[in-house]
Structure 1
Amino acid sequence: MIVVQSALKPYRVMAYIVGVMLLLLCAAMVVKYGFDNGTFVAVIGPVHGFLYMVYLLAALNLGLKARWPVGYLLLVLIAGTIPFLSFVVEKSATVRVTREIEAAASTA
């Protein structure tokens, strides 16, 4: 279970980063379409896109190591595309992995 625990921290960090970047991107979209200034979208959009790919790798790594069901893994993977969802799913995944680690430790 140490392997799963080592994959948890990069996932948690990326979930928070991607969540914050997505909120910034949403604000930049408001500025673009509300005030006709696309500068922020041009900067934040590609950065969020790259960080989302890193998030996908971190989430996939954790999901495979924790042996999550495919449906749950897909939910975690798309969480970085819906504002605020990455924060909710990150908490859920952290609780789930922590319970699995504690259960494995108590049976060993």
Structure 2
Amino acid sequence: MKQSVLTRYRVMAYVTAVMLLVLCTCMVFKYGFGMGEDVTFAVSQLHGLLYILYVVFAFDLGSKAKWGFGKIVGVLLAGTIPVLGVVVERKISRQVEPLVEPAPEPVRA
């Protein structure tokens, strides 16, 4: 498995977690203080698109690492809880790093 597969998953795990925290903050302002409806709508749409990318990259990583269906679903669901998504990303990264092919040595002239 290539390093890029793991890197894409890791980046999207963090981006999704941060966007979910931003979305939660927007929801507090919208429903708690009655302001920021336009911002909440925009953030929710952006978060939805980014979560779809997270799902694609997590599924790609899981299929290349030959995970079972339950583990893939668990990783996908972890992306719906901000702190859990980051914790699971660290755990998965440690498990998958031994499977990553070493980068080729650069050719020197």
TM-score normalised by length of structure 2: 0.85
Partner of 1:74: 73
1:30 is matched by which residue type in structure 2? V
What is the alpha-carbon distance in structure 2 between the residues aligned to residue 33 and residue 23 of structure 1? 15
The 5 Å alignment of 1:26-105 reads 26-37=24-35, 38-101=37-100
Contact 1:4 1:62 (C-alpha < 8 Å) held by counterparts: no
Structure 1 pair 45–28 and aligned structure 2 pair: CA distance change class (3 A):
same
Point out the structure with the larger helix share: 1
Contact 1:60 1:73 (C-alpha < 8 Å) held by counterparts: yes
Identity of aligned residues (%): 46
2:26 is matched by which residue type in structure 1? A
1:20 and 2:51 equivalent?
no
1:80, distance to aligned residue in structure 2 (A)? 1.6
Moved over 3 A (4+): 99-102
What is the alpha-carbon distance in structure 2 between the residues aligned to residue 63 and residue 57 of structure 1? 10
CA RMSD of aligned residues (A): 1.4
Q: Give the number of aligned pairs.
A: 100
1:74-94 per-position Cα deviation (integer Å, ceiling 9, x unaligned): 111112211211101110110
Partner of 2:107: none
Contact 1:21 1:48 (C-alpha < 8 Å) held by counterparts: yes
SS in 2 for 1:68: coil
